[in-house]
Amino acid sequence: MSFLSDISFRRAVALFVLTIALLAAGTWTIVRTTTDYLINEYVQNIAHHWAQLVAENVNDLGQIAAGEQPSSASLMFFRATRKSNTVFRYIIFNRYGYSQLTVEPDKIAPVELSEFSAEAARAIAQGKAVVDIKRGARSGLPERYAEAYVPAVVNGKAVAVVGAYVNQAQAAQVIVNVSWASAIALCLLTGLAFAVPAVAWYLRTREKQQADRRIRFLAHHDVLTGLANRAQLIERLQNAVAVLPSTGTMIAVHFIDLDHFKQVNDTHGHDAGDFLLTTIGQRLKAMSRLEDTVARIGGDEFVVVQTAVVEQSQAENFARRIVEVVSPPTYFKEQEILPRMSVGIALAPKDGLTPERLLKSADLALYNAKVTGRGAIRFFSPEMDDALQARIRLERIIRHAIANDGFTLHYQPVFEMNGKKLIGFEALARLSGPDGEDIPPATFIPMAEEMRVIDKVGQWVLNEACRTAKSWPTHLTVAVNLSPAQFESGRIEEIVAGALGLSGLEPHRLELEITESLLLRNSEATLAALQRMKDTGVSIVMDDFGTGYSSLSYLWKFPFDKIKIDRSFMESFERSGHDVETVVKTIIALGRQMNMRVTVEGVETAEQVDFLYDAEADQVQGFFFGRPVSATEVNANLLKDFVANLPAEAEGKANRAKTALG
């Protein structure tokens, strides 16, 4: 297209030059014709004027024409007129056209040999002046002059012809100069009149061509990285799939997604994120072959189409090479950024024969790579399609539940270890499928987070839990888990305050449980928000304590009201024995030293209860003391006689513990 544009431009320039040349030639012709016409008219008028002047002032023209000597008055007139620079000669002709007297600049005398003048004879015959314009043919004559032959009429009869030779060189030059100046000005004005629109047209055309090229580029390329976009990727895939039968090879579609790219934007800024994407695009382009296609199809997602693949191991090696090339750190404003990625691979023709199907298969493989821990390479398998359909069904169920209040809350009791006293409940979200079977929270909660609707679910849970707890005895509390995603909107404080305000629940009766993963994200802002909520009277609880990487560091950064030992410790109690006991006792002692209550989750056996009495745990929660039940069951049964219905063995353990404690 650029070559064709250059040809069009050259043609336009040639046409413009030709137009100017034709304009100049036409102008020259017009000026030449017009100049000759003006000079002719001017010369005729001047020559006729001088001849007429002689005819009117020389009274003896008839006698002179008959061959007599001019009178003294005529001689004086001739002498006066020959001093003029305009007329350089007079000749008096008789009425037959023969010369009789010559008036030259240096002499006045009768002609020695009379010469016939056809112009003079014609002037007599026509009875009017005859003017002939000539150019000097020999030295001594002006460059341009005129011969005017004017009949001298006396008493209505032509008696002679006055021939006046008028020098028009200077006047003609003036006319020529003026005419050419006017012509040049006209050409310049005309050229300018053409040039201004022509230049404007040229600039507009070039601008349009550049815009067209930019539009064509953007139609097939990613703006940020300059790589192929989805449209060009689809086109290239279609072409590659079309020739597969003739090649006998395969196509590998590598779907690449950066792991934790959002953290790069949050930590270093969006400029750093753009820089990272551009760098990765350059690295992918550099390590690919010319026949391969590298595309960015949105966000932090890239696709590399590898052609001429003979076997699956070739595609796997290529994917590992991608990870190897892209993973080295990059530096933005002296800040190190470590790219990490997951790769999903689909092979044509076995995983699809259309671009859409291949991309979908590669995307499913990528999703599987992320689910299994990120930083992995996965090939598509048909089972992934089944997982996708299950995922789609779950998404549909979640969206329907949000729109139609399809979630419910169950409440699991929490007891004081010393005294078997019920102190509150933990609110646990429940979701039923179309078949009536409960969907595990470990399944639908991560999905809601991934769908970015957890804030809506969390807000409903808070409102419902506070509304239900308001009907309980005032000494009972309700604990609600908060997802890290709920803090991203920046509205968590407003949501908590709204739930308390709508329900009328006292703030000290609400416990908000968070996990360490929340504090790993922008911990300073998160801790500040938690502190403001704590200042209102709400209790802040560190949930799942002991399963993170640096939980201890947060215990002195924030004054939690309670820490909850993760259920995994009690699950390992029977297998690990003394080791688990040591860790649990240490955490309980640490909490007591820091004035934080300690709740142990997952208590399910009498042996665990016995150990926790000895370890002086503050609170316990688990199936041994009660399973999660609906709000209706809580109100109808548990609040009335919950303690009386404790297992006898648990009551005996409690009594023994009380005796041992003295």
Residues of the chain with CATH 3.20.20.450: 401-661
Residue 473, preceding peptide bond in cis (omega within 30° of 0): no
**Confidence at residue 654, expressed as pLDDT on a 0 to 100 scale:** 44
Task: Give Cα separations from 433 to 39, 254, 400, 436, 439 (angstroms).
Answer: 109, 35, 11, 5, 6
Query: Are 426 and 417 in contact, with CB atoms under 8 Å apart?
Result: no
Which residue has better confidence, 51 or 557?
557
Whether the predicted pLDDT of 641 surpasses 60: no
**Confidence at residue 408, expressed as pLDDT on a 0 to 100 scale:** 95
Task: Tell me which of 3.20.20.450, 3.40.50.1370, 3.30.1540.20, 3.40.50.300 is the CATH number of domain 401-661.
Answer: 3.20.20.450
Q: Which CATH architecture best describes the domain 23-172?
A: 2-Layer Sandwich (3.30)
Which residue has better confidence, 490 or 351?
351
Report residue 452 as tokens.
Answer: 């970015």
**CA 369 – CA 377 distance, rounded (Å):** 6
Through-space distance between the first and last CA atoms of the chain, rounded to whole angstroms? 96
Which residue has better confidence, 364 or 386?
364
Confidence grade of residue 601 (pLDDT, cut at 50, 70, 90): very high
Residues of the chain with CATH 3.30.70.270: 230-380
**CA 440 – CA 567 distance, rounded (Å):** 17
Whether the predicted pLDDT of 235 surpasses 50: yes
Whether the predicted pLDDT of 551 surpasses 90: no
Whether the predicted pLDDT of 660 surpasses 50: no
**Confidence at residue 4, expressed as pLDDT on a 0 to 100 scale:** 46
CA dihedral for 470, 473, 475, 478, sign (positive or negative): negative
Task: Please tell me the least confidently modeled range out of 97-111, 205-219, 252-266, 458-472.
Answer: 205-219
Task: Please tell me the least confidently modeled range out of 42-46, 273-277, 475-479.
Answer: 42-46
**CA 591 – CA 560 distance, rounded (Å):** 10
Report residue 458 as tokens.
Answer: 């969390």
**Confidence at residue 377, expressed as pLDDT on a 0 to 100 scale:** 93
Task: Please tell me the least confidently modeled range out of 311-320, 341-350, 383-392, 421-430.
Answer: 383-392
Which residue has better confidence, 151 or 431?
431
- Residue whose structure tokens are 């470990």: 442
**Confidence at residue 13, expressed as pLDDT on a 0 to 100 scale:** 65
List the 377-379 sheet strands across, edge first. 293-298, 301-309, 250-258, 341-348, 377-379
Whats the size of the chain, residue-wise? 662
**Confidence at residue 500, expressed as pLDDT on a 0 to 100 scale:** 96
Whether the predicted pLDDT of 189 surpasses 60: yes
Task: Please tell me the least confidently modeled range out of 39-48, 120-129, 257-266.
Answer: 39-48
In 232-338, the DSSP E strands lie at 250-258, 293-298, 301-309, 330-332, 335-337
pLDDT, the chain, mean = 83
Q: What is the number of other CB atoms lying within 10 angstroms of the CB of residue 523?
A: 15
**Confidence at residue 109, expressed as pLDDT on a 0 to 100 scale:** 81
Task: Give Cα separations from 277 to 228, 295, 342, 370 (angstroms).
Answer: 14, 12, 15, 19
**CA 469 – CA 482 distance, rounded (Å):** 17
Whether the predicted pLDDT of 220 surpasses 80: no
Whether the predicted pLDDT of 477 surpasses 90: yes
Residues of the chain with CATH 3.30.450.20: 23-172
**CA 556 – CA 538 distance, rounded (Å):** 19
Q: Which helix (H) or strand (E) holds 148?
A: strand 144-154
Confidence grade of residue 653 (pLDDT, cut at 50, 70, 90): very low
**Confidence at residue 274, expressed as pLDDT on a 0 to 100 scale:** 93
**CATH level 3 topology of 230-380:** Alpha-Beta Plaits (3.30.70)
Confidence grade of residue 16 (pLDDT, cut at 50, 70, 90): low
Task: Please tell me the least confidently modeled range out of 2-16, 48-62, 352-366.
Answer: 2-16
Return the percentage of the chain with pLDDT > 90, whole number.
40
**CA 585 – CA 459 distance, rounded (Å):** 36
**Confidence at residue 450, expressed as pLDDT on a 0 to 100 scale:** 83
Whether the predicted pLDDT of 263 surpasses 50: yes
Find the mean pLDDT for residues 542-550.
74
**Confidence at residue 56, expressed as pLDDT on a 0 to 100 scale:** 78
Which residue has better confidence, 230 or 166?
230
Q: What is the number of other CB atoms lying within 10 angstroms of the CB of residue 483?
A: 21
The predicted-structure confidence for 281-295, as pLDDT tens digits, reads as follows 999 999 999 999 999
